[in-house]
Every structure is written in C-alpha cells, then in structure tokens.
C-alpha cells in the first residue's frame, strides 16, 4: 500500500514538474490578479491529484488539465473570488518583479480591439490555439467535445474575428487555411 | 500586418510565456504547493468552500479531507458508503460544472436550487451518482453516466450539519477566537449533539491564534482542528451579519419564520440575494423543533436555515 502511494506521488510529481509552467501560463495569461491566478493553479493541480488515477494519460493529459483550469477559472468568475489555503500558499510566494514582466499586450491594435469584442467562448477557443498551442484533437479533449464540433466552432470563431477586423487588416480569402481551421 | 494570419498575430499578443508566468511564483512556492497537494487525500472531491483573504484558513484542505478520507470499508458499510459521507456536490448540468456545498442531503435537489439561482430557470430533471472517485456528481436525467457510477439519492445530513456547525460564524468556530482548549470542548459538544459518538478531536499545529476550522474525517472518526485564523476584525460584513443572526438562534422559530427573519437581518445590512451578496438555503427538517441558522463564508455569504415547516 505504501509503495503504491509512493509510486502515485512519484508519477504525479513528474507530471507536476512538466505541466506546472504551462498551467501557470494558462492562468496568468487570462487572469491579472496574482492571487486569483494562484487559486486557479492550485485548484487545478488539486483536481489532478484527486483524479490522477482516472484522468487521461499521455498526450491527452495536458489539454485535459487546461480543461480543468478553464472550469476552475469559470467557477471563479461565477462565484466571485475564492481564497483557499492551497492558493493562498502559492500566492504568498508571489514575486512582484517577475509579475511586472508579465504585461498586457502593448499593441493597441485593431486586432486587440476585435479580439476583446468576441464572446468569452470564442476568445477562449482562439486563445487555446494561439497561446497554449493546442491542436484540434487537443482542443476536443480540453473542451470535452468532439473534433467535428471543435472544427465548426473554430471556423466560426475565426470568421467572427475576421469580421470584427477592418477589411485591410488580414488576408480574408484566397489564402491557405491554417492547420487549426 | 496585412496578410498575416490573425492567429499568428494573436500568438504575439500573448501576455507571457509559460516560463515568465511560472516565475511569478517563487520556486519555494511551487515546491510548497506540490507538497501540500500531495498531502491531500486522493480519489475524492470535496472542493472548496470559497473563503476570504482575511481568514487565511485551511477550508479547502479541510473540505477535501472531509470528503476524501472516508475510506474505511467497515465504516462505509455501516454508513452506506464514502460518497454518501461527502458534504459537497459536483453539478454537471447543461455544460456547466460547479461544485457546491451540500445542504439538504439530497444532492440533485441542491444542484437544482443552485441552477435556478445561477440561471433563473428551473433545472431539468436531475440524478445524483456516486462517481466512483468518492464524490457525488449530479447529471441531467438524459445524460448517460460513465461506467461504474451508481445512483446515490442522499448524503449524510448529520455530517453536513456537523460541518456547517463547525464552520459557522453565528455560533461555531468562526463566531469568536477559540483557543485550542475551547475549540476542543466546543467540537466535542457538537459531535455529541449530532450523534457522532466515539470520535476524537485532535489539534494540529498552525500559525494563527484562533481555531477557525475543523477537518471532519468519518473514516477515522476524527475532527482535526487547525489554528489558522486571526482574531475577528471590526466592521466585517459577515461578522456584522452573524451578530444580527445570533439573537435569532436563541428563539424558537419555524422554518418559514426563521427564513423571513434571516432575510430581514441581511437586508438591514444592505445584503441581497439578487445581488448575490449572500445565498440562502432553506432546508425543511421535521425532526427539529426549532429552526437552526448557520452562516458560512466563501466568496459570498452562505446562510443555511434548517427547521420544521410552518
């Protein structure tokens, strides 16, 4: 029994070390309050620990964990701000200097404005592609839906983004479809 | 920028790389989190009662532990299984995924109430399941549960009420600054009141002056108290509300009367359910002669009133 628990901890630690930075990235790219971001990171890994024996393994684990982080962040938005002991513990290790390097985009371009006008679900979908670099298959895991639905939603989100941009901003037709469409 | 794929441009707008983001919390924080997470019981899910920055409490740890530790087979057999002994519910309804504290003992009902509160519409028919991870998940009746899940119509109401009464700001551990001795005596009394016999109360070392939380572990029949809170500060809304509610607990009201009194007390402080500055759960319990009132805090103020119908 003790060996089994130790083995579980060891496997979890390996995953934690691999995915800690991506999960921090996911949280801090979306949440400006470091304490709130710390809550998302902490609760995401607490969920992973609790479900470690039942969650996807291999290539599916990373997108699955982004899916967990997405739900944690969504619950946080719905239920105001949470403060938990785990999150608090991480937040107390906050480094202001490092945080100051994590800025909002300097570019106040049409793209920024168009992106901010999209629905939350469109923004999240496009962010998962652009910022987390998820493929279509990985998006299906993160969003808990089928590849066909992902393809359709991506197509629509991308179109809405283009529609929100001035006509000269991007090539609108005739180009190659990007791999994620 | 003309001709550039918008996704490529979005990529350049990313506020931070993974490495930059990870550096926002120190390496020590990263290691502490790893240690803390792997100390949690696993295979269960009692997430998190939302709590506040002021009370740097271990509520989540307590909550997870509460749900998580109930593994002893004999105890499970006696009490109907570990999932039943959890005090939270995961509500997976129409694409939304929320975890809420249990209140009535009927998980499907609790999720339906929360769904109505969040969406303003009646929830579809719901079914609660033991999710094989030691927790309770509620799905719509039309959803097929994963393999192995079994229907779980109820949770242990006494355990839910024990947890509420310990977390309580009106008359529980959060109502004043309990030192270890006082908190132990209080917890012993609460265990007796809710019929939990043969339990022990342990004190864990902590950094705060006041015991604010108890980890309830049905498997080992232990409540572990953790001194993590700070003394009460004045003019804090939940404390003000608790002060208003305290006199109500000394009377003997029916459920409808107590609910009306609680709403009036909250309203007098400018709190409103519609503005989501508090949530109110009314639980009919015919075994009670008088209504009981519990106030817990987490993101918002959660008021639970249990009592006999009018």
Cβ–Cβ below 8 Å for B15 and A102: yes
Per-residue pLDDT of chain B (310 residues; tens, 9 = 90+): 444 577 777 887 788 899 999 999 999 999 999 988 887 765 433 333 333 333 323 333 333 333 333 322 323 333 345 667 777 787 888 766 666 778 899 999 999 998 888 778 899 999 999 877 667 889 999 988 877 889 999 999 998 999 889 989 999 988 888 988 999 999 999 999 999 999 999 887 655 678 877 777 777 788 888 776 665 555 678 889 999 999 999 999 999 999 999 999 999 999 988 877 888 999 999 888 999 999 987 657 889 999 998 6
* Residue B137 to chain A, least CA–CA distance (Å): 14
Q: pLDDT confidence of A172, banded at 50, 70, 90?
A: very low
Q: Which residues of B282-300 are buried (b: 16+ CB within 10 A; e: fewer)?
A: bbbbeebebbbbbbbbbbb
Residue A120: list chain B partners with CB under 8 A: none
- The interface predicted TM-score (ipTM) is 0.85
* Residue B6 to chain A, least CA–CA distance (Å): 7
Find the CB nearest B29 among A29, A37, A90: A90
- Alpha-carbon distance of A73 to A79, in angstroms, equals 10
Paired residues of B215 in beta bridges:
B224
pLDDT digits (tens, 9 = 90+) for B197-252: 999 998 876 556 788 777 777 777 888 887 766 655 556 788 899 999 999 999 99
Cβ–Cβ below 8 Å for A45 and B6: no
Report the greatest alpha carbon distance in chain B.
74
Paired residues of B225 in beta bridges:
B203, B214
Find the CB nearest B14 among A29, A38, A85: A29
* Residue B290 to chain A, least CA–CA distance (Å): 31
CA A124 to centroid of chain Cα atoms:
8
For the record, the structure tokens of A153 come out as 């939603």
Rounded to the nearest integer, the mean pLDDT of chain A is: 78
Structural domain boundaries in chain B: 36-79+156-229, 88-151, 237-307
In Å, what is the CA distance from B215 to each residue of B46, B57, B61?
Answer: 12, 12, 8
Find the CB nearest B24 among A81, A87, A98: A98
* Residue B12 to chain A, least CA–CA distance (Å): 8
Residue ranges and CATH numbers for the domains of chain A are: 1-103 (1.10.1740), 104-171 (1.10.10.10)
B222-229 and B200-203 beta bridge pairing: parallel
Please give the pLDDT value at position B282.
94
pLDDT digits (tens, 9 = 90+) for B45-81: 333 333 333 332 333 333 333 333 332 232 333 334 5
- Alpha-carbon distance of B203 to A86, in angstroms, equals 20
Q: Is the whole-model pTM more than 0.80?
A: no
Cβ–Cβ below 8 Å for A90 and B32: yes
The average pLDDT across A110-124 equals 81
Find the CB nearest A94 among B24, B45, B300: B24
Residue B16: φ, ψ to 5°: -160, 150
Cβ–Cβ below 8 Å for B50 and A104: no
């Amino acid at each position: 029994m003790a060996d089994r628990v130790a083995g579980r901890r060891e496997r979890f630690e390996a995953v934690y070390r691999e995915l800690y930075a991506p999960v921090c990235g996911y949280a801090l790219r979306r949440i400006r309050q470091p304490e709130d971001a710390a809550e998302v990171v902490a609760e995401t890994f607490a969920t992973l620990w609790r479900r470690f024996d039942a969650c996807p393994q291999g290539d599916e684990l990373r997108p699955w964990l982004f899916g967990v982080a997405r739900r944690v962040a969504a619950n946080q938005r719905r239920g105001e701000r949470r403060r938990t002991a785990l999150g608090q513990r991480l937040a107390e290790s906050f480094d202001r200097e490092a945080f100051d390097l994590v800025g909002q985009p300097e570019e106040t371009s049409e793209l920024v404005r168009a992106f901010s006008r999209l629905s939350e679900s469109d923004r999240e979908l496009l962010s998962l592609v652009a910022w987390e670099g998820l493929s279509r298959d990985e998006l299906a895991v993160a969003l808990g839906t089928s590849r066909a639905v992902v393809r359709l939603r991506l197509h629509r989100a991308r179109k809405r983004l283009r529609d929100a941009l001035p006509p000269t901003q991007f090539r609108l037709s005739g180009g190659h479809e990007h791999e994620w469409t | 920028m003309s001709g550039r794929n918008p996704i490529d441009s979005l990529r350049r707008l990313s506020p931070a790389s993974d490495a930059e983001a990870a550096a926002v919390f120190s390496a020590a924080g990263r290691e502490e989190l790893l240690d803390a997470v792997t100390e949690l019981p696993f295979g269960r899910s009692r997430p998190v009662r939302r709590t506040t920055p002021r009370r740097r409490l271990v509520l989540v740890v307590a909550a997870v532990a509460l749900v998580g530790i109930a593994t002893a087979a004999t105890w499970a057999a006696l009490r109907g299984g570990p999932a039943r002994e959890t005090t939270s519910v995961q509500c997976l309804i129409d694409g939304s995924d929320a975890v809420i504290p249990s209140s009535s003992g009927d998980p499907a009902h609790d999720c339906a109430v929360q769904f109505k509160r969040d969406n303003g519409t009646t929830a579809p028919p719901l079914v609660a399941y033991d999710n094989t991870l030691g927790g309770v998940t509620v799905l719509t009746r039309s959803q097929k549960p994963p393999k192995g899940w079994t229907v779980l119509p109820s949770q242990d109401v006494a355990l839910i009420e024990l947890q509420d009464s310990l977390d309580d700001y009106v008359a529980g551990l959060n109502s004043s600054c309990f030192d270890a001795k006082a908190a132990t005596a209080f917890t012993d009394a609460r265990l007796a009141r809710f019929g939990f016999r043969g339990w022990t109360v342990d004190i864990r070392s902590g950094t705060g002056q006041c015991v604010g939380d108890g980890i309830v572990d049905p498997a080992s029949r232990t409540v572990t108290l953790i001194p993590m809170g700070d003394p009460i500060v004045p003019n804090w809304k939940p404390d003000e509300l608790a002060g208003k509610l305290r006199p109500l607990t000394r009377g003997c009201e029916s459920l409808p009367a107590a609910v009306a009194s609680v709403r009036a007390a909250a309203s007098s402080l400018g709190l409103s359910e519609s503005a989501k500055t508090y949530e109110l759960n009314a639980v009919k319990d015919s075994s009670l002669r008088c209504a009981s009132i519990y106030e817990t805090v987490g993101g918002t103020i959660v008021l639970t009133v249990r009592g006999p119908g009018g």
